[in-house]
Amino acid sequence: MSAPAPARGPETVQRETRDPQATTAQAATAQTPTVRQTARRALPWIVLAVIAVVIALGGALLTGGRVAPGETLDATNPAPAGAKAVAQVLRGQGVDVRTVSTLDRATAAAEDGATVLVYDPLGNLTSDGYRALTGEGRTLVVVEPDFEALQTLDRDVTAAGEPRGPAPADCDVPAAERAERIDPRTTSTTEDVVVPGTFRVADDAAACFSDTGGRSSLVRTSFNASPVYLLGSAAVLTNDGVDRLGNAALALNLLGGHRTLVWYLPSLDDRPVSGPPDIAELTPGWVTPVMLLLVVVFIAAAIWRGRRFGPLVVESLPVVVRAGETREGRARLYQRSSARLRAADALRVGTIGRLSALAGLPTTATVSEVADAVAAITRRDRLAVRDLLVERIPQTDRDLIALSDELAELERATASAVTPSAGPDRKNG
C-alpha cells in the first residue's frame, strides 16, 4: 500500500520523546512570537516613524521655528498677518461674522443688509462683483483697493503711495473720530504680506487720517446708494497691528455698524470663465480625495507585504534535496500554520503502510483490515487501535506529540510480535 512521505519518521519521533521538555519548549516558541520576531515585524513602522520625525525636525530647522503666515486678513487666522482678533472681539459684541470666499455666498449672506468687508490683493473680483455687493442697505468696506476697484467705486479717488507714519483723524467720519489717531504702517512680521497705501481725493469725498502731503488712509464715499469706505492699509486690521494707537477703535467701529458682518476674501472662483472647462471642473469633488486615499493605501500595503529579496544564487541543476530536509521543512510548515490534523494524517499514513507490511497484508488492504490485524497480533482492543489509527483528532501540540509517540509504540509492538527473535529478549541476551 503506497503512501506519501510522513512529516516525521519514527526516528524523529523517538528523538523527540527522549526530551519531552525540549519538545514542549519548541512548541511554546512556535506559538508565542519572540521579542526579536515582534521587533522584526515592527521594523518598517519604526523606520517610517524615524523618517517622519527627521522630516519634521528638518522643516522646523529650515523655517527657524516660525509659524506659517496663513492667509492674510483671514478672520480665522491667528498668525500675525491674520485678523482673528478683530473677528473674535466683534463676535463678543454680538456681531454675526460670516466668512465667505465667493461672490455668490457673499451676496447671499448680506441679503438683509450688512457690512461687507472685501480684501482682494490678487484682483479676483471684477467691477460687476463690486456692483453686486452694494445696494440693499449694505455698507461696503474695501481694504487696499486696486486700480479696477477705485475706477468702479469712485474715479476721483486715486492711489498715492505708502503711508509715512501715524496720522490724526481730522474728519467728520464717526468711526475715525472715535479712533482719533491710527498707525497704518506694517510691522516686521507683516511687511512681506501687507502692502499699505494711501489715497488722494479730488471730489467731496471725506478723507481721514491724512499726512502733511495730503495723502489719506481712509476715504468715505458712496456707490449705488451704499456708503463705501476705502481703507488703504490692511495692517490696521491684522493681529499684529490692531493694538497700535487707535487701530482697534477704527476697526471695531468701521466693521460693527450692522448686526451682520460678511468677511469676504475673493478667490479664484470669482474670476470670469474665459475658456472651456478643464478636467478639474468636470471631475466630481470626491475623486481627488479618493485617489489620494488609494495612493496611501497602496504605499501602506507595499510596506506591509513587501519583502526584500536577496541576490540571485547560481546553483547547478538538478538540485538534490535530502529527504530529511524535506521532512523537516514540511513539519515546520505544519507547525507554523497549526495544521495538526494534516500532520497527524501524514504520520498515520506512514504508520499504516508499515503496519500493513508487518502484518503481511496486501497493498489493497483497507484501514479497518489493518486495524483488525494489528489488534489481533498485539492482542489489543480493536476499537482502541482504530481510534489511534483513524478517529483521534489532536487539539494541541501536546496531543499531537502524544499521538506520535503512541503510533511509534504500536509499530514497535507489532514488529516485536511478528518477529519475536528481534524483540527485547534477544537484545538483552
Long-range contacts of 203-206 (CB under 8 A, 24+ apart): 203/154, 203/156, 203/157, 205/154, 205/156, 205/157, 206/171, 206/172, 206/173
Residues above pLDDT 70, as percent of the chain: 86
Q: What is the CATH number of the domain that holds 161?
A: 3.40.50
How does residue 70 score in pLDDT terms, banded at 50, 70 and 90? Answer: confident
Shared domain check, 254 and 146: yes
First-to-final CA distance of the chain: 35
- Which residue, among 181, 172, 219, 182, has the nearest Cα to 200 in the 3D structure? 219
Shared domain check, 380 and 243: no
pLDDT in tens, 256-297: 989 999 999 999 888 876 667 677 777 888 888 899 999 999
Domain hosting residue 6, numbered range? 1-21+325-419
pLDDT for 346: 86
Q: For the chain, what is the mean pLDDT?
A: 83
Last residue of a domain, one of 246, 264, 282: 264
| E strand residue ranges, 20-148 | 96-100, 115-119, 139-143
Compute the half-sphere exposure of residue 145: CA atoms within 13 Å on the CB side of its CA. 29
CA distance 115 to 324: 89
Residue indicated by cell numbers 493694538: 243
Residue 339 has pLDDT above 90, yes or no: no
pLDDT for 92: 94
Shared domain check, 89 and 7: no
> For the chain, how many residues are written?
429
Q: Could you tell me if residue 217 is inside a domain? A: yes
Residue 171 has pLDDT above 70, yes or no: yes
Among 17-31, 42-56, 340-354, the least confident range:
17-31
Residue 394 has pLDDT above 50, yes or no: yes
Shared domain check, 93 and 17: no
pLDDT for 425: 47
Shared domain check, 364 and 232: no
Shared domain check, 226 and 369: no
CA distance 181 to 406: 103
pLDDT in tens, 4-25: 444 444 444 444 444 444 444 4
- For residue 43, CA distances in Å to 47, 142, 309, 352, 408 come to 6, 57, 16, 47, 43
pLDDT in tens, 378-393: 989 989 988 898 888 8
H or E element that contains 329: helix 323-336
Residue 219 near residue 54, CB atoms below 8 Å? no
Core vs surface per residue 72-96: b (16+ CB within 10 A) or e = bbbbebebbbbbbbbbebbeeeebe
CA distance 238 to 241: 5
Shared domain check, 330 and 244: no
Read off the C-alpha cell for 24. 514542549
Shared domain check, 238 and 107: yes
Q: For 69-92, what is the mean pLDDT?
A: 90
Q: Could you tell me if residue 198 is inside a domain? A: yes
Q: Could you tell me if residue 397 is inside a domain? A: yes
Q: How many domains are there within the chain? A: 2
How does residue 45 score in pLDDT terms, banded at 50, 70 and 90? Answer: confident
